[in-house]
Structure 1
């Protein structure tokens, strides 16, 4: 006997013969797909987590380059804020 294959929330399982059950499964999959696509905060959170983990990996493998990157970004942000304030004050 083979183990059942997991089906994603946004897919319809194969082998449903009852038309009512098939329609319910299709509706459930469609609603899950709409929720997945429309839930922008969740998608942003997943993308941010992915980016954070890749940056942490980079920081572990290249600590000097990561430090230089952080310092460079801090200098850039500081210069942008200083420039914006200077333009506002004038």
Structure 2
């Protein structure tokens, strides 16, 4: 995430000031491939989203422990009802 001028450039960006057409084409290709890799790497995107949600849930639990407990019990009841309903439908 750096350029020759010392100005930080994201992996998916092209540094300014490149005058050589070949070097510019290489930089654009490198940035395009990095953008494609970033977009296509679904496991990494899922991991980042999961970390973000876990952090938000932990912050909520620190701010409101009673609300977090109610949410956990609610999710457990919903999952239990879903499993019970699926088993009931299967055994009929």
Please say whether Structure 1 and Structure 2 have the same fold, judged by a TM-score greater than 0.5: yes
Q: Which runs of 4+ in 1 moved over 3 A?
A: none
The normalised TM-score by structure 2 is 0.92
1:86 matched residue in structure 2: 88
Question: Is the partner of 2:45 in helix, strand or coil?
Answer: helix
Paired residue for 1:35?
37
TM-score after normalising by structure 1:
0.94
Matches within 5 A, 1:47-86: 47-86=49-88
Unaligned runs of 5+ in 2: none
Paired residues, number:
88
Alpha-carbon RMSD:
1.1
- Correspondence for 1:12 among 14, 17, 42: 14
